[in-house]
Structure 1
Amino acid sequence: MQLIEHIDAAAMADGLAFEIGQAIDQALLDRGRALIALAGGRTPMPAYRKLAGQQRDWSKVTVLATDERWVDAGHPLRNEDEIVDAMQAARGLNLCRLVPAKAEYPPLAAWANQVLAELSQPFDLVLLGMGGDAHTASLFPAADGLSAAMDLRAEADAFVITPNPLPPEAPHARITLGRRRLLNARQHIIALSGAVKRDVLFDANSRQQPDRQPISAFLAPGLNMTIHWSP
């Protein structure tokens, strides 16, 4: 596990874009295609904009979000739309969606699992974020559905998660990639900012309690993991 501390958010965006681009280009060289899973949220979006400005055959690159809120396409809280907007300069990029355009209730993971069944190969890279409660993707502590999503023996790739309590800024059920599917990657990155989150990450790494601090499931020895942090 490697920790890279950047002087500011702009420097982190540059570093993230460079490392993601390297992983994509290596995959294109080795296998002719690249498959990456990206976190939503504010922290990585500047990096995605810089990444989209890199020159490559984007038609051979497939991206999906690590998790998505159960909201309709076009909703301001939709991670996939945010990623598409940030990467609009990447002409030809393939985006696979975890939630259908019309998110009718009840939330179901069937759509996402069908999509993922066609993407059975390991991810070339997974970029994760982390919340102040040590959640990553939509693997929230004490959430309804967490146990199934964290089960390494689970047959499904995607799960319905309902945070408990629901965050007031995003009070929606989620579809998330499960722990097993997120771990099935050649390379991992965690991107986070602020001293508080860095302390949470270090605490999760020392305690190794994935049920209480889900990010710790991705801090185990042996992963090809880089952590990018900025103040």
Structure 2
Amino acid sequence: MESRGRVRGVLVECPDAGAFAAALASRLGELIDRALTERGRAVLALAGGRTPFAAYRLLAAQARDWSRVSLLATDERWVDADHAHRNEAEMRRAFEAASGVHFVPLVPAKADGAPNAEFAEARLVDLDAPFDAVVLGMGGDAHTASLFPGSPGLDSAIDPSSAGSAFVVTPQPLPPEAPHARITLGLARLKRSHARILGITGDGKRKVWQSVLDAEPSADRPIGLFLHDAAAPVAVYWSP
């Protein structure tokens, strides 16, 4: 079901997790195929977390020339490539069926030294065009990507005048399930996309989303900086 109203964009309500995954995979497939037809390549920035990975596996099973498709995470933990908390590693597993697909890392294979965005910026130079799609997630604190409210590095990452596309953000406090500094794409780079999608599940996340819509946009609830931007509408996919 699709509905409009105060939402800046479209709300796609799915009856269950399976329908959510199928709807999101179908939409992403459409966006990829349109990009391949119009521009010969497609680039997607994809959220990590538990919510979208069933959709990614369905998407990977779709038949197309995946060698013309590049994928990157919207944010990455400052950990080595083989670390269990690395978003890229989980994404690679989800897209095993997509033979030839390209992955663009945001963090070097060996994450030595202090976290920095230099490696990510160097890889993003060749991806200067708008993304063909960005998939965002949302935490219970209304963060998205690694734009965590109140965290060092957030102000630069959400400032549209900031130079660069990637930023170091260290969540405060560090989430116990993934206690790492992050490299995240900034607000302006994430918005620069032909399509922006937010995927959320559960009544709790829906209440957070609705409360963000009902409030003025602020750095205290970073997802609102996307949802309240009429110039770059967000399609919201939700299931119980």
Give TM-score scaled by structure 2 length.
0.95
Does the 8 Å contact 1:208/1:217 carry over to 2? no
How far, CA to CA, are the matches of 2:113 and 2:66 in structure 1? 34
Whether contact under 8 Å (2:41, 2:69) holds in the other structure is yes
Change (3 A) 1:209 1:225: closer
Partner of 1:121: 129
Counterpart in the other structure of 1:174? 182
The 8 Å contact of residues 186 and 224 in structure 1, kept in 2 or not, is answered as no
State the AA in 2 paired with 1:226: A
Which one of 12, 18, 25 corresponds to residue 20 of structure 2?
12
Matched, 1:223 2:232: yes
> Aligned ranges for residues 151-190 of structure 1 at < 5 Å?
151-190=159-198
Instruction: Give 1:74 shift.
Output: 1.2
Q: Distance in 1 between matches of 2:216 and 2:43?
A: 28
Q: What is the alpha-carbon distance in structure 1 between the residues aligned to residue 127 and residue 117 of structure 2?
A: 15
User: What is the rounded CA distance, in whole Å, between the counterparts of 1:224 and 1:88 in structure 2?
Assistant: 31
Give the structure 2 partner of residue 193 of structure 1: 201
Q: Cα deviations across residues 6-40 of structure 1 (Å, max 9, x unaligned)?
A: 11111100000000000000000110110110000
Contact 2:226 2:233 in 1 (8 A): no
Q: Residues of 2 paired with 1:59 and 1:223: CA distance?
A: 28
Secondary structure at 2:223 match in 1 = helix
Task: Report whether the alignment pairs 1:52 with 2:57.
Answer: no
For 2:120, the equivalent position in structure 1 comes to 112
Deviation at 1:155, TM superposition (A): 1.3
Q: Indicate if the aligned counterparts of 1:67 and 1:176 stay in contact, CA closer than 8 A.
A: yes
Q: Are residues 1:25 and 2:33 paired?
A: yes
Q: How many residues align?
A: 231
Q: What 5-or-longer segments of structure 2 have no aligned partner?
A: 1-8
TM-superposed CA distance for 1:210, in Å, is: 2.9
Amino acid at match of 2:234: M
CA distance, structure 1, for counterparts of residue 162 and residue 71 of structure 2: 23
Q: Corresponding residue for 1:210? A: 218
Offset of residue 170 of structure 1: 0.8
CA–CA distance in 2 between the matches of 1:215 and 1:53?
A: 30
Per-residue deviation at 1:122? 0.4
2:3 is matched with none
Match of 1:72 in 2: 80
Q: Distance in 1 between matches of 2:218 and 2:33?
A: 32
Shift of 1:205: 1.7
CA separation in 1, counterparts of 2:65 and 2:218?
38
TM-score under structure 1 length normalisation: 0.98
The aligned counterpart of 2:140 is: 132
8 Å Cα contact 1:38/1:126 also seen in 2: yes
**Contiguous gaps of at least 5 residues in structure 1:** none
- The 2-side partners of 1:158 and 1:222 are apart by 22
Using the alignment, how far apart are the partners of 1:45 and 1:87 within structure 2? Answer: 9
* Aligned-partner Cα distance in 2 for 1:55–1:16: 16
Aligned residue for 2:127, secondary structure, equals coil
The aligned counterpart of 2:4 is none
Question: Alpha-carbon deviation of 1:120?
Answer: 0.4
1:46-81, Cα deviation, whole Å (9 max, x unpaired): 000000000000000011000000011111111011
Name the % identity.
52
Q: Distance in 2 between matches of 1:224 and 1:21?
A: 19
Task: Tell me how large the CA RMSD over aligned residues is.
Answer: 0.8
